[in-house]
């Protein structure tokens, strides 16, 4: 299926490519360009090659630059940090973001702090790839979007590309960045397509993208939720509400100015996240926008994300756990027309195409 958030503007807009292939192209091009780039992590070199995102790299670059590891996420993260400090550019791959909880010490106590606590004498050009799993029984420990924990920590950068174009551009930017970058990919985005230039390019921190314009509410979607927000926007349009959808792309550093500008105009801000809301990215965005708007404040705000529970695999519970275009649209509607009766779009129409298709195995 096609889910292109970036229309072809010119010849240089590239071909339609899947998110997973865009990632793979980023690795191949950067490994070609720079000898110091290497890709490692559990299962990067097997025939499944991380859902295909590392396919062919072993054959092309050899086992010194593409290799699996023992099940030792903590030490392997330290190894990546050391190699990065020594001048290499490791890309450390985790098939689930949940496993980063095993490496928090290395990421937060070492990677994030090394440059600062060593007085600027070292760099840690490290990329940590991690994937958020969703639906079909992923359950408690294979489903978490933990980006807000990393956004909390100075010294780390965090990026969550929502489409194939940004997947390639952000990954290349991350690899070239001299700092540790946590890349949050989303499993459900892997088959989605966008126009992707063939040559290497960077989608750099500092610029959020207004994905679709609107005047009644500002709708910020994170990662996969960008896609669901676009669908919510369509549903809202049918009842005469116009939502502006913004993709922050980079979560840290965060381009808050673009969101502030939009919210100042629409007076309503909804953040839809692929994670829990408490101390989440949505809390950060809401608080930062309101600090910047200052006394003029007075905008209505709402965060949407995972329900405040562990992720349950049973389908009816899972459906209630995750936000979806219908719940997003309903939340926007409630802010825009607070006096109206609550409105929820027809659940059938609110379903997302790629959401429905996905079925196991992992």
Partner 1 sequence: MEHHRRLYRTLRLIRVVEEEVARVYPTDVIKSPVHLSIGQEFIAAGVCDALEPRDHVSITYRGHAAYIAKGGDLNAMIAEMYGKKTGCCQGRGGSMHLIDMKAGVIGASAVVGTSIPVATGFALAARRRRTGGVVVCFIGDGATEEGCFAESLNFAALHRLPILFVCENNGYAIHEPLAKRWATDRLCERVATYGIPARRIGDGSVFTVRDAALEAVAAMRDGGGPAFLEILCCRWREHVGPNEDFDQGYRSADEKTPWAERDEVARLAARLPPAEVAAIETDILATVSAAFAFAEASPFPVTGDLHDHVHA
**For residue 199, what are the contacts with CB-CB under 8 A and spacing of at least 6?**
none
How near is the Cβ of 222 to partner 1 at its closest, in Å?
22
Q: Does residue 252 touch a copy of itself according to CB under 8 A?
A: yes
Nearer to ligand TPP, 92 or 165 (CB): 92
Number of DSSP helices (H) and strands (E) in the chain, helices first: 14, 14
Nearer to ligand TPP, 71 or 342 (CB): 71
Show which residues are catalytic.
73, 142
Nearer to ligand TPP, 58 or 350 (CB): 58
Phi and psi at 92, nearest 5°, equal -100, 125
Give the span between the Cα atoms of 153 and 148, in whole angstroms: 9
Contact status, residue 155 vs residue 111, Cβ threshold 8 Å:
yes
Contact status, residue 126 vs residue 93, Cβ threshold 8 Å:
no
Q: Does residue 110 touch ligand TPP according to CB under 6 A?
A: no
Q: Does residue 83 touch ligand TPP according to CB under 6 A?
A: no
Phi and psi at 259, nearest 5°, equal -70, -40
Phi and psi at 248, nearest 5°, equal -70, -20
Q: Are strands 268-276 and 37-40 parallel, antiparallel or unpaired?
A: unpaired
Burial (CB count <10 Å: 0-12, 13-18, 19+), residue 296: exposed
Which of partner 1, ligand TPP, a copy of itself, none does 83 bind, CB closer than 5 to 8 A by kind?
partner 1
How near is the Cβ of 190 to partner 1 at its closest, in Å?
17
Count of residues interacting with ligand TPP (CB under 6 A): 5
Nearer to partner 1, 19 or 306 (CB): 306
Contacts with ligand TPP by CB under 6 A lie at: 42, 71, 73, 99, 102
Contacts with a copy of itself by CB under 8 A lie at: 74, 98, 101-102, 104-105, 108-109, 112-113, 116-117, 139-141, 148-149, 151-155, 252, 275-276, 278-284, 286-288, 290-291, 294-295, 297-303, 308-310, 312, 335, 338
């Amino acid at each position: 299926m096609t889910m292109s958030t970036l229309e072809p503007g010119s010849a240089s807009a590239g071909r339609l490519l899947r998110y997973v292939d865009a990632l793979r192209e980023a690795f191949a091009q950067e490994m070609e360009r720079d000898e110091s780039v290497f890709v490692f992590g559990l299962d990067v070199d097997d025939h499944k090659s991380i859902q295909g995102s590392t396919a062919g790299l072993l054959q092309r670059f050899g086992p010194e630059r593409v290799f699996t590891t023992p099940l030792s996420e903590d030490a392997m993260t330290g190894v990546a940090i050391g190699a990065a400090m020594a001048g290499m550019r490791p890309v450390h791959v985790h098939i689930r973001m949940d496993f980063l909880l095993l490496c928090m010490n290395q990421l937060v106590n070492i990677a994030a702090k090394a440059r600062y606590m060593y007085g600027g004498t070292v760099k840690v050009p490290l990329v940590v790839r991690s994937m958020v799993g969703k639906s079909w029984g992923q359950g408690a420990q294979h489903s978490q979007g933990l980006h807000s924990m990393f956004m909390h920590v100075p010294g780390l950068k965090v990026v969550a590309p929502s489409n194939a174009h940004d997947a390639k551009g952000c990954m290349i930017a991350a690899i070239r960045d001299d700092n540790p970058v946590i890349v949050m990919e989303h499993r459900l985005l892997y088959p989605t397509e966008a126009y992707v230039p063939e040559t290497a390019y960077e989608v750099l921190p500092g610029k959020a993208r207004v994905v679709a314009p609107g005047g009644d509410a500002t709708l910020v979607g994170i990662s996969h939720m960008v896609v669901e927000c676009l669908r919510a926007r369509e549903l809202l349009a049918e009842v005469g509400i116009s939502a502006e959808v913004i993709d922050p792309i980079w979560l840290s550093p965060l381009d808050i100015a673009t969101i502030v500008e939009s919210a100042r105009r629409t007076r309503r801000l909804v953040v839809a996240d692929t994670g829990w809301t408490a101390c989440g990215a949505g809390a950060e965005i809401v608080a930062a926008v309101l600090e910047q708007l200052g006394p003029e404040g007075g905008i209505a705000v709402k965060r949407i994300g995972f329900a405040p529970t562990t992720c349950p695999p049973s389908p009816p519970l899972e459906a209630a756990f995750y936000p979806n275009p219908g719940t997003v649209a309903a939340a926007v509607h409630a802010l825009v027309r607070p006096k109206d009766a609550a409105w929820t779009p027809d659940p059938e129409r609110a379903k997302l195409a790629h959401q429905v298709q996905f079925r196991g195995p992992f």
